[in-house]
Amino acid sequence: MAGKPGFTQITLMNGAVQVVGESPKDQPLPHSVHVTLVQESERGDGPSGFAEGPVDSPAHDWHATFPSEGFRKGPALVVGWEISFQPQFFVTTWQQVKNIE
């Protein structure tokens, strides 16, 4: 796999938090993408926000939307894994710290 997937933006809006990402455009479309989003409480005593789930209809540019309960603007850990079958079976995992805007 020449490139790798990544998260480009996390936005808090209207009772939802949206995680936006992209997969390598020089590769076939991913078969599936899964996202986990975790944000530590402001007190530093564990997570205040936690959400995970698959991306509906993965494409080269994709997003996952979760309920915003427990999330606020600020840093969060986002973890992803992507499964591809072309040109061969391949699983990519990655993690990033991104700000929820």
DSSP 55: P
Contact between 95 and 6 under an 8 Å Cβ cutoff? The reply is no
pTM comes to 0.92
Per-residue model confidence as pLDDT tens for the chain (101 residues): 457 899 999 999 999 999 999 999 999 999 999 999 999 998 889 899 999 999 999 999 999 999 999 999 999 999 999 999 988 898 999 999 999 99
* Domain boundaries along the sequence of the chain: 1-12+41-101
| Residue 47 dihedral angles phi and psi, to the nearest 5° | -70, 140
Give the pLDDT confidence score for residue 1 in this predicted structure. Answer: 42
Give the pLDDT confidence score for residue 61 in this predicted structure. Answer: 97
Give the pLDDT confidence score for residue 2 in this predicted structure. Answer: 52
Chain center to CA of 69 = 17
Give the pLDDT confidence score for residue 42 in this predicted structure. Answer: 87
Residues sharing a CB contact under 8 Å with residue 18, sequence separation 6 or more, in sequence order: 9, 10, 11, 63, 64, 65, 66
